[in-house]
Amino acid sequence: MFKNLKDFLDTLDKVGELKHIHDQVSPHLEISKLTDRESKSPGGGKALFFENVKGSSFPVATNIFGSSRRICMALGVDHLDQLGERIKQYIDLRPPKSLMGALQMLPMAFGFAKFFPRSFKASTPPCQEVVYKDDDVDLSKLPVLHCWPKDAGPFITLPLVFTKSLGTKKRNVGMYRMQVFDRNSTGMHWHIHKDGSHYFNEYRKAGIKMPVAVAIGADPAVIYSATAPMPRGIDEMLLAGFIRKKPVTMAKCLTVDLEVPAEAEFVLEGYVKPDELRREGPFGDHTGYYSPADDYPVFHVTAVTHRKNPVYNATLVGRPPMEDCYMAKATERIFLPLLQTVMPEICDYWFPWEGVFHNIVVVSIDKEYPGHAQKVISGLWGQGQMSFCKAIMVVDKNISPQNPERIIKELLSRLDITSDITITRGVLDVLDHSSPFANYGNKIGIDLTARFKGEPPRSNRRSLSKPPSEASLSDIIKNSVPGSVECRHLFNKLQEGKEISNRILTVSVEKTIDRGGKDFASILLGLDELDMFNIFILFDKEIDLSDNSLMLWKLFNNVDPGRDMIFKNDRVVIDACKKGVMDGHEREWPDELSFDPIN
């Protein structure tokens, strides 16, 4: 495995996975534009190495994990399921009896003694070859990226934030964006459900400052581990050691009582006051939208240390596909065996990239009794990070969740709108903007499994007549639906010559203060000429209805299932447009990310 970031970059270079940018570039938007373009090229493009950064003496590396090949190289595997298989081999030998038992087994599964972090023994660790303290600290010397035009400022986007519980003294490593406020302070964007925030609350209640250390740039296993949804109290550096098959060497900080990876490129040391908040954001987030400004704790930097010739490592997040998609895919595969210890009926699962990790998951199960799918849906909403998932779709074990076309065929041929949909309420990810309430809202479960004896049969829909041509459909929509722009019969090629249970018509519309989603729904559900369609999806007028990925991204992000799904008998209209007062949504709707000039 790799000793440090440079070791990984050198390897990428040797195998043709690193593109060198020799021309001078600015950390204000220019690096981000180039990274965004590269990330969205076929297969994720190449890792980028910017050698000449305006205003800084340090080079910048981006998109280092942003392809299937590079994420596998980073984690030392041929395919991402290999790490999960290593965990499963141990768990199968000593099956846990509960979720707590599974979590308690993690250190043993990782090889607790063999991979536990080690202390740096020599005099000066690489991460402290150059030291700046107190008044010499100046964060403006770092090439921190201003990622998107409406961002509140430059943000450190790939920080490894080290904290320690005041009570248990256990270490946590998380990745939380950090807005640079000035030469020696940043924001600390702890979401309420993150372990860093939980530890901060311990210090806040005690009324004392919290020591924090931030590493920027490390070996890829260490960077990935900071993003992993590890149970509280289990050291992420242990996971890194398990991935590396070698312990992570840690060095003591100079001004705070914490340890950081000795091979890190940069380290920021400092503290967070218990009673200080400052407005942070907006920030162009992984949802593809700007997350709004809010008040967060302030990180005061007491020291900056770095290697003699460090590389600043950053990532850009935005509408998928981006680099973080490949890191999330690794998490999906690595943590499947742990989920299966609690729910052994789960065969596989899939988080579509368009769902930005928390909006939808497709799960295949070995169904054994009536109501089994509903039991799995409820159970997943009670499991750790899965509790934030807005939509869960369940299919039978013979259906691969990794096969999108097969999933769509199941949806078109099997879904019974009257009996297969369950809507409930619960906790949501803090970045979910579709709900009228922050962190809380409606969720949807969809059961596409075969019916068992004891379950109500799916209803037999009336015979669906053949739909008009696309041109005729367009005329019907434009003549009968005021505010409509265009339409498209979605997935019609998949239905040719097959038994049809569901037909989907997408319609782009222009809302006004007096015309919201429910108004369009009332018209569409009342048109006899469109009786052969039982699912309608509304999109904003500027959406390209030929772009399936774009439409799925809008559908997963913009829909609150309880408010935006309008049912009438066995038909439904789904409003995937922006929301406003015309829809009963008074919460601020975020802007979509774009490098186009700001009006």
State the pLDDT at residue 468: 86
Specify whether 476 is located in the same domain as 426.
Answer: no
Q: How far apart are CA 355 and CA 391, in angstroms?
A: 9
Specify whether 202 is located in the same domain as 95.
Answer: yes
> Does the CA dihedral 326-330-331-337 come out positive or negative?
positive
Q: What angle do CA 209, 439, 103 make, to 5 degrees?
A: 70
Q: How far apart are CA 365 and CA 211, in angstroms?
A: 45
Specify whether 166 is located in the same domain as 273.
Answer: yes
**Are 199 and 210 contacting, i.e. CB atoms less than 8 angstroms apart?**
yes
Specify whether 85 is located in the same domain as 147.
Answer: yes
Specify whether 360 is located in the same domain as 239.
Answer: no
Q: How confident is the model at residue 494 (pLDDT cuts 50, 70, 90)?
A: low
State the pLDDT at residue 5: 98
Specify whether 441 is located in the same domain as 477.
Answer: no
Q: How far apart are CA 311 and CA 143, in angstroms?
A: 10
Q: How far apart are CA 252 and CA 236, in angstroms?
A: 17
Average pLDDT over residues 339-347: 91
**Are 565 and 537 contacting, i.e. CB atoms less than 8 angstroms apart?**
no
Neighbours of 114 (CB within 10 A): 11
Specify whether 284 is located in the same domain as 177.
Answer: yes
Specify whether 307 is located in the same domain as 272.
Answer: yes
Does pLDDT of 234 surpass 70? yes
| Of 147, 141, 177, 180, residue with least CA distance to 159 | 177
State the pLDDT at residue 106: 56
What 3-state class would DSSP assign to 330? helix
Question: Quick check: is 4 in a domain?
Answer: no
State the pLDDT at residue 599: 44
State the pLDDT at residue 530: 93
Question: Quick check: is 53 in a domain?
Answer: no
Tokens representing 564? 């935006």
Question: Quick check: is 47 in a domain?
Answer: no
Neighbours of 161 (CB within 10 A): 25
Q: How far apart are CA 293 and CA 516, in angstroms?
A: 27
Question: Quick check: is 287 in a domain?
Answer: yes
Measured CA to CA in angstroms, residue 300 lies from 41, 278, 519 at distances of 38, 12, 51
State the pLDDT at residue 541: 96
Neighbours of 513 (CB within 10 A): 8
Does pLDDT of 100 surpass 60? no
Question: Quick check: is 173 in a domain?
Answer: yes
**Are 66 and 220 contacting, i.e. CB atoms less than 8 angstroms apart?**
no
State the pLDDT at residue 164: 94
| 21: CB partners within 8 A, 6+ apart | 34, 48, 49, 50, 51, 52
Tokens representing 139? 């964060």
Q: How confident is the model at residue 430 (pLDDT cuts 50, 70, 90)?
A: confident
C-alpha distance across the termini of the chain, in Å:
48
Which one of 219, 285, 324, 348 is the catalytic residue? Answer: 285
Average pLDDT over residues 411-415: 91
Burial of 502 (0-12, 13-18, 19+ CB in 10 A): buried
Longest dimension (CA), the chain: 81
Q: How confident is the model at residue 462 (pLDDT cuts 50, 70, 90)?
A: low
Average pLDDT over residues 200-214: 95
Question: Quick check: is 491 in a domain?
Answer: yes
Tokens representing 207? 């009324």
Does pLDDT of 461 surpass 70? no
Q: How confident is the model at residue 492 (pLDDT cuts 50, 70, 90)?
A: confident
> In what helix (H) or strand (E) does residue 279 lie, and over which residues does it extend?
strand 266-280
| Of 144, 173, 155, residue with least CA distance to 291 | 155
Q: What is the CATH number of the domain that holds 552?
A: 3.40.1670.10
575 an active-site residue?
no
Burial of 387 (0-12, 13-18, 19+ CB in 10 A): middle
Residue with tokens 């007028």: 541
Does pLDDT of 389 surpass 70? yes
Burial of 518 (0-12, 13-18, 19+ CB in 10 A): middle
Q: Quick one: DSSP state of residue 492?
A: G
Burial of 93 (0-12, 13-18, 19+ CB in 10 A): exposed
Specify whether 524 is located in the same domain as 439.
Answer: no
State the pLDDT at residue 104: 56
Q: How far apart are CA 524 and CA 506, in angstroms?
A: 11
Calculate the CA dihedral of residues 536, 542, 544, 550 and round it to 10 degrees. Answer: -80
Range of the domain at 306: 80-313
Q: How far apart are CA 257 and CA 568, in angstroms?
A: 61
Average pLDDT over residues 71-82: 95
Q: What angle do CA 257, 262, 263 make, to 5 degrees?
A: 150
Q: How far apart are CA 552 and CA 408, in angstroms?
A: 12
Does pLDDT of 64 surpass 90? yes
State the pLDDT at residue 231: 74
Phi and psi angles of residue 126, each rounded to the nearest 5 degrees, phi first = -55, -35
Q: How far apart are CA 176 and CA 191, in angstroms?
A: 8
Plot region of 206 (φ>0 → left; ψ -120 to 50 → alpha; else → beta): alpha
Specify whether 250 is located in the same domain as 355.
Answer: no
- Identify which has the larger pLDDT, 113 or 579: 579
Residue with tokens 């430059």: 154
Specify whether 154 is located in the same domain as 103.
Answer: yes
State the pLDDT at residue 196: 77
State the pLDDT at residue 96: 55
Q: How far apart are CA 589 and CA 554, in angstroms?
A: 13
State the pLDDT at residue 198: 84
Specify whether 137 is located in the same domain as 276.
Answer: yes
Q: What is the CATH number of the domain that holds 153?
A: 2.30.110.10
Question: Quick check: is 443 in a domain?
Answer: yes
The model's pLDDT over 10-53, given as tens digits with 9 standing for 90+, comes to: 999 999 999 999 999 999 999 999 999 999 999 999 999 999 99
Question: Quick check: is 161 in a domain?
Answer: yes
**Are 348 and 336 contacting, i.e. CB atoms less than 8 angstroms apart?**
yes
Q: How far apart are CA 31 and CA 154, in angstroms?
A: 12
Neighbours of 589 (CB within 10 A): 16
Tokens representing 213? 């250390």
Q: DSSP of 107-167, one letter per residue?
A: HHHTTHHHHS-EE--SSS-GGGSEEEEGGG--GGGS--BB-STT-SS-EE-SEEEEEE-TT
Q: How far apart are CA 326 and CA 586, in angstroms?
A: 35
Phi and psi angles of residue 537, each rounded to the nearest 5 degrees, phi first = -125, 125
The model's pLDDT over 106-152, given as tens digits with 9 standing for 90+, comes to: 555 555 567 888 999 888 999 999 999 999 999 999 999 999 999 99
Average pLDDT over residues 497-517: 88
Helix 220-227 and helix 323-334: axis angle, to 10°? 80
- If one counts the domains in the chain, the total is 3
- Identify which has the larger pLDDT, 458 or 544: 544
